[in-house]
Amino acid sequence: MTGLDQTHSDLASDGIATPVASTVRWRIFGIIFVLVVINLIDRVTLSIAMPTIAKEFAIEPAMQGLVLSAFFWSYALLQIPGGWLIDRFGPRALIAGATVGWGFFQAVAGLATGGVSLLASRIGLGAAEAPLFPAGAKLNSIWLSPKERARGAVLVDSGAPLGAAFGGVIIAWLILSLGSWRTAFVVAGLVTMLLGVLAWWYLRDDPTDHPGVNAGELAAIQATAGPATGVVTAGPRGIAAGSFAAILVGRMSWAMINFGLLTWGPSYLAQARGFDLKQMGGATFVIFLAGMVGSLTSGFLVDRLLARGLSRGVVYKWALGLTGLGVMLAFLVLPQVADPVAAVALLSATLFLLYFGSLYWSLPAILAPKDRVGVVGGAMNFAGSASGIAIPIITGLILQATGAYLMVLYFFAACAALYVAGSLLIDFKPAEAR
């Protein structure tokens, strides 16, 4: 009998009413949300500072793309091993260690003397950041019932666009205030390392081990949960091979757009729209803040629709399919928009729709056995991270070949079409019993 079962059994036998549930699980996801915000702030610092750094180090566009992609080399390589470690040792240790580690490499980047040393620091940053999102998916499977998992997924992933939004403003402000991109990087890294200590102090791998969790919250976590081992279908991952492939394709295509905008979006605003550093920071904030709103909207909307008895497959496919089509159309229209303010407004609407893709982070907890959620989440994030490796280089090569962003935007439109196709091919039938 598990710890949760024993608790409920004792309460029932003693005739004690289950108390009002505590809310530790949501505080835990609040901490992960903050860590994801900081994660993305640290990740986008180079993109914001790249116009300045490129001038200082005389880096050509193709080399800029190589440096921007370097983060994803180690990040992608360690996704599946990181997922295995999460399943083996639990998310708490991996999250805390990763946070301290990436803060260290963020600070080290401020000591770079050229493109090669900057590239090396980004490889270290990518390696350290690798476990965070798969660990968030693992916490989703441990701490939340199926009726709460869409909200849990978007609470984690919505930190990404918010971090990108604040990253643009904060890093631009730090560079201008301190007069040095190097000092800005060091300050960001030290703050991150302190948050890693906070994560270790509060997070737990088992709700029964947390001193703030009462019997009511334990009951809420388990009451509507499905089988303890999840729903297992064909394939070593516990997910049918075709559905697993669709998840990877959908996530890869989504990530092409997301990481393309994260790495080259600031340069697009500066070069194609004529924004200075201050305007670029402000526009980036508005655009990615809209992404956060879209992410949160998707999770709360989906959980509400599921609570009304609608099929999970229908809800997810409509949510992902329609918003994906909207993203595709936006990139086809953007080259025709001449006014810079209107272009920012359209990009904001695009990010709002794109971040319905945060729902993907609920899929490992919904579709995979609990003992494989970390690996499935790592594999999914590997697909996205591989896109992160490719897209900065692809964008740099397209720009160097054409001298303009037109074909880049059309490439993003094609990625959106593939994202829709992958999302529609995911099989949700095994999850309908949950």
CB atoms within 10 A of CB 199: 25
Contacts of 363 (CB under 8 A, 6+ apart): 247, 376, 380, 426
Is residue 85 in some structural domain? yes
Tens of pLDDT, residues 281-338: 788 888 888 998 999 999 999 989 988 888 888 999 999 999 999 999 999 999 999 8
pLDDT, mean of residues 238-262 = 88
pLDDT at 30 over 80: yes
- Among candidate residues 302, 323, 296, 329, the one with its CA nearest the CA of residue 314: 302
pLDDT at 93 over 70: yes
pLDDT band for position 224 (cuts 50, 70, 90): low
pLDDT at 207: 87
Determine the structural domain holding residue 370 and report its residue range.
21-431
Is residue 9 in some structural domain? no
Mean residue pLDDT across the chain:
83
Is residue 6 in some structural domain? no
The domain that contains 177 carries what CATH number? 1.20.1250.20
pLDDT at 96 over 90: yes
Q: State both tokens at 410.
A: 């059309």
Tens of pLDDT, residues 137-171: 889 888 888 788 888 888 888 888 787 777 777 77
Quote the distance between the C-alpha of residue 195 and its chain's center.
18
pLDDT, mean of residues 228-232 = 39
Is residue 13 in some structural domain? no
Is residue 184 in some structural domain? yes
pLDDT at 229 over 90: no
Please tell me the total count of domains within the chain.
1
Contacts of 434 (CB under 8 A, 6+ apart): 146, 226, 231, 312, 366
CA dihedral sign of residues 279, 281, 283, 286: negative
- Among candidate residues 302, 258, 101, the one with its CA nearest the CA of residue 164: 258
